[in-house]
């Protein structure tokens, strides 16, 4: 569960200010953040993930209060509990598909890379239809394939929360659906909460709820 209360945040430079009086997202819920550019969707995603610490107020993710954690603790918490999907995929060019999926296990002592993890990674890649591309490098993948790899990377540690920042922003319609299908399927099978930033209103009916940052109001439980 994500629980935000009296959150106030502003960047040291600039006029931007985000105020979230109260927001709760339940376990296993799928929520879309919509709204114009600069309205604070990505900032809130980063606050929930602990990438940036909140200025005032509290952010509780999976029962842990982000605002009282040290930087080191936030990193360890993030890698174990939160899967991140980026608009630009952010795959490492010098790693193969399999190594990119295994990346979280290579960059933190909080996760242990075992044979079972490796097998699960291969199975995930197989599941997204890229089983024969395990050793291929990102430069030789299509945009859709890259995002599928990024999704596999995010869900491999079986996080309770998946945060996706415009995961379909760079994809054509066919790949958009494919990637969202995968994302929802994994979130559902792992009973993970899914929060995604999107500009695409056509996708909103796939989420349990959409939060419009323009008015900062919960518009509807669209899928409920």
Partner 1 sequence: MNGSLYLAWRYLVYHRLKTAVLLVSITVILFVPVGLRVLVDQSSQQLTRRAIATPLVIGARGSALELVLNTLYFGTDDPDPVPYAEAIRIDTSGLALAIPMHTRFSSQDHAIVGTSLEYFTFRGLQIVDGRPLATLGECVVGARAAQSMGVAVGDFVISSPESVFDIAGVYPLRMKVVGVLAFADSPDDDAVFVDLKTSWIIQGLGHGHQDLARPEASAGVLRRDSTGITANASVEQYNEITADNLESFHFHGDLGGNPVSAVIAVPLDQRSSALLQGRYQADDERMQIVRPSTVMDQLLGTILTVQQFVTAGAALLGLATVATAGLVFWLSLRLRRREMMTVFKIGAARHTIGTLMASEVVGVLVLGLVLAGVLTVVTSRFAGVVARYLVRM
Residues at the interface with partner 1 (CB under 8 A): 49, 51, 71-72, 75-80, 82, 84, 86, 90, 92-95, 99, 103-110, 113, 137, 153
Work out how close the CB of 101 gets to partner 1 at its nearest, in angstroms, rounded to a whole number.
Answer: 12
What is the token pair recorded at 154? 């995010």
Q: How many CB atoms lie within 10 A of CB 71?
A: 9
Work out how close the CB of 149 gets to partner 1 at its nearest, in angstroms, rounded to a whole number.
Answer: 13
Work out how close the CB of 224 gets to partner 1 at its nearest, in angstroms, rounded to a whole number.
Answer: 31
If the CB atoms of residues 60 and 108 are measured against partner 1, the closer one turns out to be 108
Alpha-carbon span 114 to 126, nearest angstrom: 18
If the CB atoms of residues 79 and 210 are measured against partner 1, the closer one turns out to be 79
Convert 84-120 to b/e letters by CB count within 10 Å (16 or more is b): bbbbebebeeebbbbbbbbbbbeeeeebeeeeebeeb
If the CB atoms of residues 14 and 109 are measured against partner 1, the closer one turns out to be 109
User: What is the number of H-type helices and E-type strands within the chain?
Assistant: 7, 10
What is the token pair recorded at 173? 């319609």
Burial class (CB in 10 A: 0-12, 13-18, 19+), 217: exposed
If the CB atoms of residues 62 and 204 are measured against partner 1, the closer one turns out to be 62
If the CB atoms of residues 1 and 76 are measured against partner 1, the closer one turns out to be 76
Work out how close the CB of 98 gets to partner 1 at its nearest, in angstroms, rounded to a whole number.
Answer: 11
Work out how close the CB of 185 gets to partner 1 at its nearest, in angstroms, rounded to a whole number.
Answer: 22
């Amino acid at each position: 569960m994500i629980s935000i209360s009296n959150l106030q945040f502003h960047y040291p430079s600039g006029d931007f200010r985000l105020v979230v009086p109260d927001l709760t997202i339940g376990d296993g819920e799928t929520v879309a953040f919509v709204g114009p550019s600069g309205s604070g969707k990505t900032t809130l995603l980063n606050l929930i993930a602990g990438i940036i610490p909140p200025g005032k107020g509290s952010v509780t993710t999976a029962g842990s209060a982000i605002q009282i954690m040290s930087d080191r603790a936030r990193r360890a918490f993030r890698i174990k509990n939160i899967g991140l999907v980026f608009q630009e995929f952010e795959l490492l060019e010098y790693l193969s598909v399999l190594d990119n999926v295994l990346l979280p296990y290579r960059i933190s002592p909080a996760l242990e890379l075992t044979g079972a993890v490796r097998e699960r990674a291969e199975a995930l890649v197989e599941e997204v239809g890229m089983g024969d591309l395990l050793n291929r490098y990102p430069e030789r993948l299509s945009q859709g394939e890259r995002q599928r790899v990024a999704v596999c990377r995010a869900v491999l540690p079986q996080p309770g929360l998946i945060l996706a920042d415009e995961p379909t922003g760079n994809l054509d319609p066919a790949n958009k659906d494919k990637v969202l299908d995968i994302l929802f399927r994994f979130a559902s099978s792992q009973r993970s909460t899914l929060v995604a930033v999107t500009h695409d209103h056509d996708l909103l009916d796939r989420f349990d709820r959409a939060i419009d940052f323009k008015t900062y109001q919960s518009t509807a439980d669209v899928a409920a």
